[in-house]
Amino acid sequence: MMLEVYRPSLDDLWFRQALLADEATMAYNAAWGGTIDFPREKWAEWYGRWLEVPETERYYRYLRHGETGRFVGEIAYRLDGEKGVYLCDVIVLAAERGRGYGTRGLSLLCAAAKGNGITALYDDIAADNPSWKLFVKNGFTVVERTEESVFVRRDL
């Protein structure tokens, strides 16, 4: 499987819009509202906040199939000022799941974070979302578990 990270252009945000609007893909987010509206008029501001800042604050990339060039998901991390930790994000299109893209994307994200001097990544996952098992399978440990969420951490 050939999977690569791709730094999207502003015009490429059509994929993020489609990803966040896909009900099957965003089913994991049901506890926090499900799909997310990402209209074109918000793209420029969002792009500036996520892709035109130092990668020690925020990092965002698409996952792209190396042979076909199609986008299959996204990876990201951001410094959470309130918690003082880097929260990460891996989303794979529902239609593309089951092919190892989540594992490979998480590996690519951890490598990018480590390369940018980040020493640990965290994620706060809804308790009913089975994806926390993907994180544990890939070197994350459960720091805290409540009825609402599973908080995981991986030292890089």
Q: Please answer whether residues 54 and 67 qualify as being in contact, where contact means their C-beta atoms are separated by less than 8 angstroms.
A: no
- Condensed to tens digits (0 to 9), the pLDDT of residues 113-154 reads 999 999 999 999 888 888 889 999 999 999 999 998 899 999
Domain that holds residue 113: 3-155
- pTM equals 0.92
Q: What are phi and psi of 92, to 5 degrees?
A: -115, 135
CATH number of the domain to which 151 belongs: 3.40.630.30
pLDDT tens profile 20-30: 999 988 887 66
Structural domain count, the chain:
1
pLDDT digits (tens, 9 = 90+) for 34-57: 889 999 999 999 999 999 999 999
Q: 3-state SS string over 131-143? A: CHHHHHHCCCEEE
Answer for the pair 116, 59: CB distance below 8 angstroms, yes or no: yes
Convert the pLDDT of each residue in 90-101 to its tens digit: 999 999 999 999
CB 21 within 8 A of CB 37: yes
pLDDT classification of 1: cutoffs 50, 70, 90: low
